[in-house]
């Protein structure tokens, strides 16, 4: 699904009201109903205890007032706190009039802020996507007060003080929500590590925004879920044979890091490739032949690291990087590969570090290569990022300049493309932050590129299936107990889901 800016969200709002011939108040009622439904499914009136709804002067505050009414009608104990303002939005005013007189309401005063019980449930409806500058005055004082109280905060649409699609100054006051219930679509701010402490968990609830508007909205930002990938993974052909599914070459491993080669190889084999050859230094031969008998082993003349590029003719894609180290002769292998390869390339780990250390090498990178750095490796390829938003700008610029695809790894891994799109992955869990997880991704990607999938589809599917397999594996192992090889065990079911979710 698309990710919209705050300005586009306002347009979506207006288009919905126009097309569905409803009032803005009715749309607000839908939003408040969706939020309340989410909350009531998780907290009974007894569990919720005292619910304190903090409302700002705009439509986010209007949502808060409507939520307060709906919760009150459902027998929850609600108190409303209002931010003083010169002007309140029309829908705020309408919902203020609709709030039963029996719901206590207080206008906030920075000099006498209410005491917040530790078990209080706070609903943050101070500011939403209309935020135009950092919080100051009473709003800032209220946010600081609530953050200090460590109350359970559930934010409506977005934590107050957080911009939906741009960074705020480092010292700007922002509500620290435990949950953020977003309307209709995820926001860019939810996907960036620097905002995690404010956003908390972020369910998204539908509010029936115009599907026509969402379909035509010009956005280069996407959140990749299973529905988004429907139809991208080709079904295997009844009369297919191993030649149909490509021959991948993995250049991986060095003494002490043959495990990286093995992990990439096993993942490649579990991602549908027809044939796999693995080039490791000679010290990897026995281990590879024993632990991955389905792969062909092609050992390098050097015992400890890669020193010679094999003939590339038999292969339909090449993956290089896992565990290779940065020996000078390994750098020569990479250089020759970049010069000679006529087939798709996947670059990871030390291949990226070698690339980052020599601008001359980067200039050789063939178009449509797929790179899979984590943020530190990425910054070695480009320059240090000021913040997560700046890193995305660097990502766009890098992909454009080099005509390549980059999977920036992490929670919500982000794929950048030469044409400026950014695709955020929806699968995966913190258990996958473990050695070898990246080697598995390289294996998956190399397998998909070897099967002739275009770079965009290969990268989207690899990112998603890798994360999904990690999620399935964590059901068995838990997050702390997850190791990279567990991800590989579940690649099959992850790909199967993507094939069967395809519609007729």
Ligand X SMILES: NC(=O)C1=CN([C@@H]2O[C@H](COP(=O)(O)OP(=O)(O)OC[C@H]3O[C@@H](n4cnc5c(N)ncnc54)[C@H](O)[C@@H]3O)[C@@H](O)[C@H]2O)[C@H](O)CC1
- The single residue listed with the structure tokens 């695809």 is 405
Environment class of 216 (CB within 10 Å of its CB; exposed 0-12, middle 13-18, buried 19+) = exposed
Q: Is 401 annotated as a binding residue?
A: no
Binding mask 119-138 for K ion (x = CB under 5 A): -----x--------------
As a three-state string, the secondary structure of 35-76 is: HHHHHHCCCCHHHHCEEEEEECCCHHHHHHHHHHHHHHHCCC
Closest approach, Cβ 131 to ligand X, in A, equals 4
b/e sequence 323-358, b meaning 16+ C-beta within 10 Å: bbbebeebbebbbebbeebebbbbbbbbbbbbbbee
Instruction: Give me the count of residues in the chain.
Output: 504
Q: Which of residues 37-76 bind K ion (CB under 5 A)?
A: 60
Residue 371 has a CB neighbour count (10 Å cut-off) of 27
Selection from K ion, ligand X, none that 155 binds (CB < 5 to 8 A by kind) is K ion
In the DSSP assignment, the letter for residue 452 is: T
Can you list the alpha helix ranges (DSSP code H) found in 49-153? 59-73, 90-98, 137-149
Closest approach, Cβ 436 to ligand X, in A, equals 41
Q: Which is nearer to ligand X, 159 or 356 (CB)?
A: 159
Residue 304 has a CB neighbour count (10 Å cut-off) of 16
Q: Which is nearer to ligand X, 183 or 222 (CB)?
A: 183
Q: How many CA atoms lie within 13 A of 149 on its CB side?
A: 22
Q: Is 13 annotated as a binding residue?
A: no
Q: Which of residues 151-170 bind K ion (CB under 5 A)?
A: 155-156, 160
Selection from K ion, ligand X, none that 485 binds (CB < 5 to 8 A by kind) is none
Closest approach, Cβ 209 to ligand X, in A, equals 6
Measure the CA dihedral 335/376/187/404, to 10°: -10
Cα separation, 105 vs 142, in Å, equals 16
Q: Which is nearer to K ion, 131 or 273 (CB)?
A: 131
Closest approach, Cβ 246 to ligand X, in A, equals 45
Selection from K ion, ligand X, none that 280 binds (CB < 5 to 8 A by kind) is none
Selection from K ion, ligand X, none that 302 binds (CB < 5 to 8 A by kind) is none
Cα separation, 9 vs 3, in Å, equals 9
Selection from ligand X, K ion, none that 124 binds (CB < 5 to 8 A by kind) is K ion
Q: Is 412 annotated as a binding residue?
A: yes
Q: Which of residues 293-352 bind K ion (CB under 5 A)?
A: none
Cα separation, 199 vs 153, in Å, equals 10
Structure tokens, 162: 């957080």
Instruction: Round to the nearest angstrom and report the end-to-end CA distance of the chain.
Output: 21
Closest approach, Cβ 188 to ligand X, in A, equals 14
Q: Is 238 annotated as a binding residue?
A: no
CA angle 245, 337, 327 (to 5 degrees): 120
Closest approach, Cβ 47 to ligand X, in A, equals 24
Answer yes or no whether residue 32 interacts with K ion by CB under 5 A.
no
Selection from K ion, ligand X, none that 183 binds (CB < 5 to 8 A by kind) is ligand X
Q: Is 474 annotated as a binding residue?
A: no
Cβ neighbours of residue 212 closer than 8 Å, sequence gap 6 or more? 15, 19
Residue 217, SS3 per DSSP: coil
Q: Which is nearer to ligand X, 28 or 94 (CB)?
A: 28
Q: Is 131 annotated as a binding residue?
A: yes
Closest approach, Cβ 199 to K ion, in A, equals 11
Q: Which is nearer to ligand X, 27 or 53 (CB)?
A: 27
Q: Which is nearer to ligand X, 58 or 325 (CB)?
A: 58
Q: Which is nearer to ligand X, 134 or 492 (CB)?
A: 134
Binding site for ligand X (CB under 6 A): 9, 13, 27-28, 31, 56-63, 89, 127-135, 139, 156-157, 183-184, 209
Known binding-site positions for (6S)-NADPHX: 59-63, 128-134, 157, 260, 323, 374, 439
Known binding-site positions: 59-63, 124, 128-134, 157, 160, 260, 323, 374, 409-413, 438-439
Known binding-site positions for AMP: 409-413, 438
Binding positions for K ion, rule: CB under 5 A? 60, 124, 155-156, 160
């Amino acid at each position: 699904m698309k990710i919209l800016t705050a300005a586009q969200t306002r347009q979506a709002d207006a288009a919905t009201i126009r097309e569905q011939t409803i009032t803005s108040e009715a749309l607000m009622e839908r939003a408040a109903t969706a939020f309340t439904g989410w909350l009531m499914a998780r907290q009974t009136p007894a569990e919720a205890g005292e619910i304190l709804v903090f409302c700002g002067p705009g439509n986010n505050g209007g949502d808060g007032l409507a939520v307060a009414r709906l919760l009150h009608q459902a027998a929850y104990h609600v108190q409303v706190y209002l931010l003083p303002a010169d002007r309140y939005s029309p829908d705020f005013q309408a919902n203020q009039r609709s709030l039963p007189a029996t719901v206590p309401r207080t206008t906030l005063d920075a000099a006498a802020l209410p005491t917040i019980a530790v078990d209080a449930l706070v609903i943050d409806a101070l500011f939403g996507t209309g935020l135009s500058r950092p919080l100051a005055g009473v709003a800032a004082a209220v946010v600081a007060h609530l953050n200090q109280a460590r109350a359970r905060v559930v934010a409506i649409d977005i934590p107050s003080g957080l911009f939906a699609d741009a960074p705020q100054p480092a010292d700007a006051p922002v509500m620290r929500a435990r949950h953020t219930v977003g309307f209709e679509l995820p926001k860019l701010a939810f996907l960036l590590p620097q905002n995690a402490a404010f956003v908390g968990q972020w369910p998204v609830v539908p509010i029936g925004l115009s599907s026509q508007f969402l379909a035509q909205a010009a956005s280069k930002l996407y959140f990749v879920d299973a529905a988004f990938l429907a139809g991208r993974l080709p079904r295997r052909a009844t009369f297919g044979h191993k030649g149909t599914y490509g021959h991948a070459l993995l250049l991986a491993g060095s003494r002490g890091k043959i495990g990286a080669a093995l992990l990439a190889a096993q993942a490649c084999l579990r991602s549908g490739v027809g044939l796999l050859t693995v080039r490791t230094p000679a010290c990897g031969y026995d281990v590879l032949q024993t632990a991955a008998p389905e792969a062909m082993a092609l050992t390098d003349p050097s015992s400890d690291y890669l020193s010679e590029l094999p003939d590339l003719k038999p292969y339909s894609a090449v993956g290089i990087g896992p565990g290779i180290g940065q020996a000078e002769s390994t750098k020569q292998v990479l250089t020759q590969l970049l010069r000679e390869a006529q087939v798709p390339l996947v670059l990871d780990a030390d291949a990226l570090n070698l690339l980052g250390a020599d601008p001359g090498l980067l200039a050789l990178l063939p178009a449509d290569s797929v790179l899979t750095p984590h943020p530190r490796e990425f910054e070695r390829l480009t320059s240090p990022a000021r913040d997560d938003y700046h890193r995305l700008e660097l990502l766009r610029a890098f992909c454009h300049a080099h005509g390549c695809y980059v999977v920036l790894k992490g929670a919500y891994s982000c794929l950048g493309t030469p044409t400026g799109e950014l695709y955020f992955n929806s699968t995966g869990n913190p258990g996958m932050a473990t050695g070898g997880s990246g080697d598995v991704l390289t294996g998956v990607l190399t397998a998909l590129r070897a099967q002739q999938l275009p770079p965009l589809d290969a990268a989207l599917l690899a990112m998603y299936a890798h994360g999904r397999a990690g999620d399935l594996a964590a059901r068995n192992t838990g997050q702390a107990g997850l190791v990279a090889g567990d991800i590989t065990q579940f690649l099959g079911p992850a790909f199967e889901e993507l094939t069967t979710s395809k519609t007729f």
